[in-house]
Amino acid sequence: MLNHYLVLAVKVLLRRKFFTFISLFGISFTLLVLTVVTALFDHAFGPGPVEPRQDRTLYAEQAMMYGDHGAWSSSGGFKLFDTYARNLPGVERLSLYQGGNTVYSYVDGRKIASALKRTDDEFWRILDFSFLEGGPYGTADVGEARFVAVINATTRQRFFGNRPGLGQTLEADGQRFRVIGVVEDVSEVRRTPYAEIWVPFTTAKTDAYKAEIMGGWNAMVLARDKASMPLIRQDFNSRLLRVELPDPKMFRAIVAPFETKIEGLARMMPTGDRRDPESQLWKLVGFLTVLALLFLLVPTVNLVNINISRIMERASEIGVRKAFGAPSRTLVGQFLVENILLTLVGSVIGFVLSVLALRAISQSGLFTYAHFTLNPRVFVYGIVAALAFGLLSGVYPAWRMSRLNPVDALRGGVSR
């Protein structure tokens, strides 16, 4: 029977070329947008090669100091994390690193702009960079403020052409560093690991940062296990209640919670409350759900309308099938098969378009070093979305059709 339905579905779709085109366009375009957005999202926040242990990593990349008369929103300061984030219970590793800034170098009369990040040595132990040459700087390099650097492959190319980078020196931000490691390029979208040159934070030109509790620094912890993560958050938040604030008249509290990447995004959204140390994730999930539903609503309603007219055109066929013994439920099944087939064809087109769109975005240079791809996870999300879309837009027309009286159906769908 399924074979009969599929053959008929293909014939109907080919016969009504315009309807089929409109339906396929709606489905594939909707899926294209959903898939591309999901792929971008996954690339930025999902587990990746450099951040494989995201399931037990927490980041404190936003801070807010506030009082009754003002608020200061930024990242945390070195002193804040150095004093209060060390020896948290359940932490396997803690890393402090700067947000990064653009520095300039001059090579053979060329001005080269590079993203430089100053980090500690734990940074390399929590993250998992792929080294092409050499290795990362260690505890001794940081402790003794050695002028060593890890660079990415593109920086090696810019500074040294096709020669190996290891042992070479480069000048950046007015300082001279010896290259001890070369890593593969990391996407700009991955905010935490991203840079082009990484150097020990102790090589900073001034140590004024050591006294600041706000500005310029981030912290990341690798929890021993997932169960320790709530404890880490809780303990750090309660430690922050004891922070001596620089201007008690202006500020009375500081918030710089350890969170997952996605919670960090939720905090940055207009719906997020930066003064609240608790997770704002549910607000983001709610916001994105409403947005996705609204986005899906328009094409779904369109497809429902197209499906109703498509099905009602076949009222006589429905009447014949009913007259010859098709129960309503079987007919609903038949039209759902047709709709799901249409949706699956649309999703295949949507996926092909998504691959092309992601390739175009990757090549556009909009996001440095980003190579957006459709991974199996995104593919599965897309298939689920397509099937949901097919069912949503097919159920109502099929249900309406199944309620037709056979006599009315044979008469062309008009009831007396």
Partner 1 sequence: MIQLKQIEKVYRTDRIETVALADVNLTIREGEFISIMGPSGCGKSTLLNLIGLLDVPTGGTVQINGSPIASYRDRALAAIRNKEIGFVFQVFHLVSDLSVLDNVQIPLLYRRMSNAERRKLAEAALDRVGLSARVHHFPSQLSGGQQQRVAIARAIVGRPRILLADEPTGNLDSQMGDEVMGILKTLNAEDKTTIVMVTHDQQKADQTERIVRLFDGRQVN
Query: Token digits for 243?
Result: 């922070």
What minimum distance in Å lies between the beta carbon of 306 and partner 1? 18
334 vs 354 by CB, closer to partner 1 = 334
Q: Is 322 in the site for partner 1 (CB under 8 A)?
A: yes
C-alpha count within 13 angstroms, C-beta hemisphere, residue 189: 19
Give the chain's count of helices (H) and strands (E): 13, 13
Which one of 125, 239, 283, 321 is in contact with partner 1 (CB under 8 A)?
321
Q: Is 355 in the site for partner 1 (CB under 8 A)?
A: no
- Within its chain, how far is the Cα of 196 from the centroid? 21
Q: Is 329 in the site for partner 1 (CB under 8 A)?
A: yes
Q: Is 1 in the site for partner 1 (CB under 8 A)?
A: yes
Q: Is 17 in the site for partner 1 (CB under 8 A)?
A: no
Per residue in 311-337, is it b (16+ CB within 10 Å) or e — as a string? bbebbebbbebbeeebeeeebbbbbbb
Q: Is 352 in the site for partner 1 (CB under 8 A)?
A: no
What minimum distance in Å lies between the beta carbon of 17 and partner 1? 14
Q: Is 11 in the site for partner 1 (CB under 8 A)?
A: yes
Q: Which among 2-10, 49-57, 137-145, 358-366 is the span making contact with partner 1, rule CB under 8 A?
A: 2-10
Q: Is 407 in the site for partner 1 (CB under 8 A)?
A: yes
Residue 189: helix, strand or coil by DSSP? coil
Q: Is 111 in the site for partner 1 (CB under 8 A)?
A: no
What minimum distance in Å lies between the beta carbon of 400 and partner 1? 15
Which one of 3, 87, 162, 364 is in contact with partner 1 (CB under 8 A)?
3
- Within its chain, how far is the Cα of 116 from the centroid? 23
Which one of 100, 319, 350, 413 is in contact with partner 1 (CB under 8 A)?
319
> Cα(89)–Cα(67) distance, rounded to whole angstroms?
29
What minimum distance in Å lies between the beta carbon of 30 and partner 1? 28
Q: Is 330 in the site for partner 1 (CB under 8 A)?
A: yes
> Cα(68)–Cα(74) distance, rounded to whole angstroms?
18
**For the chain, how are helix, strand and coil distributed in percent, rounded to 5?**
50, 20, 30
Q: Is 275 in the site for partner 1 (CB under 8 A)?
A: no
Other beta carbons within 10 angstroms of residue 213's beta carbon come to 23
Please report which helix (H) or strand (E) contains residue 309, including its range: helix 281-312
Which one of 8, 348, 383, 391 is in contact with partner 1 (CB under 8 A)?
8
Q: Which among 6-14, 47-55, 67-75, 281-289 is the span making contact with partner 1, rule CB under 8 A?
A: 6-14
Q: Which among 28-36, 177-185, 228-236, 404-412 is the span making contact with partner 1, rule CB under 8 A?
A: 404-412
> Cα(133)–Cα(131) distance, rounded to whole angstroms?
6
**CB-based contact 243:254 (threshold 8 Å):** yes
Q: Is 405 in the site for partner 1 (CB under 8 A)?
A: yes
Q: Is 7 in the site for partner 1 (CB under 8 A)?
A: yes
Which one of 161, 174, 248, 325 is in contact with partner 1 (CB under 8 A)?
325
**CB-based contact 81:162 (threshold 8 Å):** no
C-alpha count within 13 angstroms, C-beta hemisphere, residue 385: 31
Q: Which residues bind partner 1 (CB under 8 A)?
A: 1, 3-4, 7-8, 11-12, 15, 316-317, 319-330, 405-407, 410, 416
